[in-house]
Amino acid sequence: MSDPFKSVNASKVTISELMLPSHSNFSGKIHGGYILMLMDQIAFACASKFSGHYCVTASVETVDFLNPIEIGELVTMKASVNYVGRSSMVVGIRVDSENIRTGKVKHCNSSYFTMVAKDDSAQNIEVPGLILASPDDIRRFYKAVHRIQSRKSNADHSDTFDSTTKEAIDNLSNYRVQLKSK
């Protein structure tokens, strides 16, 4: 590894693309799958730029579509590495759309992609450490740590939770479900 530490700024990537009719779904809005594809591309570019290696997507945090994107709007995605592990990086992505006639900008979604650096033999390879140079860098790093810990905690819970107990079955009455008799 050539550089043992790199700054968050060294990872930043921004892309903008005009949304065309070919990107739309049946309701005339931009297809969510198309936006996800662009998000995966910018996550790859960001992680590869930071690590200096080919990277693959290991996981994607929840993606909530906050506002629809219209045909003719300019979509801008900004990405940066928020956290690094040994070979993994959490890339934060923000998606905004702009009506180019009115100048109105909407926040459309944010998400976090976990990317893993690979060597030429497709083996995991160590990535540089992360230099945190601003309060925003520190905040984003700690939020990533919290999400990772929560995900691990939830995984541990799902391994031990017994959904067949009387308490679990009785709790189903709190939801809009109906148990089918055997």
Q: Which two tokens stand for residue 95?
A: 């998606």
Query: What are the start-end ranges of the E strands in 33-128?
Result: 54-60, 74-84, 88-98, 105-118
The pLDDT of residue 161 is 76
pLDDT of residue 164: 84
Measured distance CA(59)–CA(56) in Å, rounded? 9
Q: For the residues 16-37, what does the mean pLDDT come to?
A: 96
Please provide the average confidence, as pLDDT, over all residues in the chain.
93
* Structure tokens belonging to residue 63: 């993606």
Considering the segment(s) 5-132 as one domain, its CATH architecture is Roll (3.10)
CA distances from 32 to 4, 64, 139 (A): 37, 10, 28
pLDDT of residue 147: 92
pLDDT of residue 122: 96
Residues 143-165 have a mean pLDDT of: 82
For residue 182, what pLDDT band results from cuts at 50, 70 and 90?
Answer: low
Model confidence, pTM: 0.87
Q: What is the mean pLDDT of residues 37-46?
A: 98
Which residue from 81, 95, 105 is spatially nearest to 15, judged by alpha carbons?
95
How high is the pLDDT of residue 99?
Answer: 98
CA 85: distance to chain centroid? 16
